Structure 1
Amino acid sequence: MNFSVHFDDATVDRLNKAVERAGVTRNRLISMAVQEWLARNEEKDWPETLLAHFRNPAPELAQDTLDFQAWREHLGGPAEPRW
């Protein structure tokens, strides 16, 4: 998808210098910046099955109780000691 973005002169000068340093096109640099911003700022949420489990005030009474052990693989191994 193509669209136009308008920048003030100072931002364009900074962008042009960044392009020279990075060795990429302006469009590529802008695309990379937007992708990075989205990766850091998009709302991250838990899976719907986990959200539904915690919305239920008495999850142990639900017919399909959530298996927490199934999520263990996503936690990774134990953290290394810091000392």
Structure 2
Amino acid sequence: MNFSVHFDEPTLDRLNLAVERSGMTRNRIIVTAVQAWLAQNEEKDWPETLKAHFRNPAPELTEDTLDFQAWRSALGAGSELRW
């Protein structure tokens, strides 16, 4: 998908310098920056198995008791916990 983005002159100058330093295109730098911003700022959610576990008021009565360590992999390596 294509769309236009308008930058002020100082930002455009900095972007052009980054292109020279990195050898990447302006578009690639912008895409990378947006992806990084989204990864950092998108709302995180609990894994579905963990949400289902806590929806059950008596999880110890089910055959499918949740392994509480299993949800850790859904957070990804190095994820910063915010609770």
TM normalised by structure 1 equals 0.70
- Please list every run of 5 or more consecutive structure 2 residues that lacks an aligned counterpart in the other structure: 76-83
RMSD of aligned C-alpha atoms? Answer: 2.6
Relative distance call for 1:73 and 1:29 in structure 2 (3 A) is closer
Find the residue that maps to 2:70 and give its secondary structure. Answer: helix
> 2:71 & 2:33 partners in 1: Cα distance?
33
Letter in 2 for 1:12: L
Equivalent residues of 2:50, 2:66 under 8 A apart? no
Deviation at 1:19, TM superposition (A): 0.9
Partner residue, 1:20 = 20
Partner residue, 2:37 = 37
Letter in 2 for 1:34: V
Indicate the structure whose relative CO is greater, using CA pairs within 8 Å and at least 6 residues apart: 2
1:34-76 Cα shifts (integer Å, max 9, x gaps)? 1111122222222122112224443334x4543216717839x
Give the greater-gyration-radius structure (CA). 1
Identity of aligned residues (%): 68
Q: How does 1:45-56 map to 2 (within 5 A)?
A: 45-56=45-56
Residues paired across the two proteins, number? 74
- Please list every run of 5 or more consecutive structure 1 residues that lacks an aligned counterpart in the other structure: 76-83
Equivalent residues of 1:53, 1:59 under 8 A apart? yes
